[in-house]
Amino acid sequence: MNTQHFTDAIPSDVIDQMMFGDTYVKMGRHQDGYVLWWSDGVANDWTEFYPSLSLALARLATLAAAAESDWQAGFTSGPADFAREAKKLFNATLSTPEQG
């Protein structure tokens, strides 16, 4: 799970694409996981890789929340820290067979 600032990892196997204001977003399969790529169409492109669809979708939801705040809110963590915190949320809100 890393962030790279280049466009050669723009997903070609696109699951979804959308616009948040002037920001174009694509999410898709990439090698052994998922890639989330977004760009303001000017000079800024971001690419993040996640091992699971649920983590990529959670990060996408966080990006949507930043857009909904008119970009007044922003990320407070990088991809690795985000994935760790998202997994805590998943563990707290999902039951497992052991939990009954």
What pLDDT is stored for residue 83 in this prediction? 94
What pLDDT is stored for residue 9 in this prediction? 62
Domain that holds residue 36: 3-93
What pLDDT is stored for residue 44 in this prediction? 84
Low-confidence ranges of the chain (pLDDT < 50): 1-7
What pLDDT is stored for residue 11 in this prediction? 67
The domain tally of the chain equals: 1
pLDDT in tens, 23-44: 999 999 988 899 999 998 888 8
Looking at the domain assignment, is residue 24 inside a domain? Answer: yes
Looking at the domain assignment, is residue 100 inside a domain? Answer: no
Looking at the domain assignment, is residue 56 inside a domain? Answer: yes
| Other CB atoms within 10 A of residue 57 CB | 17
What ranges in the chain are assigned the alpha helix state H?
A: 53-68, 79-93
Looking at the domain assignment, is residue 55 inside a domain? Answer: yes
Looking at the domain assignment, is residue 98 inside a domain? Answer: no
Cβ-proximal residues to 54 (8 Å cutoff; 6+ apart), any chain = 86, 90
Looking at the domain assignment, is residue 99 inside a domain? Answer: no
What pLDDT is stored for residue 8 in this prediction? 53
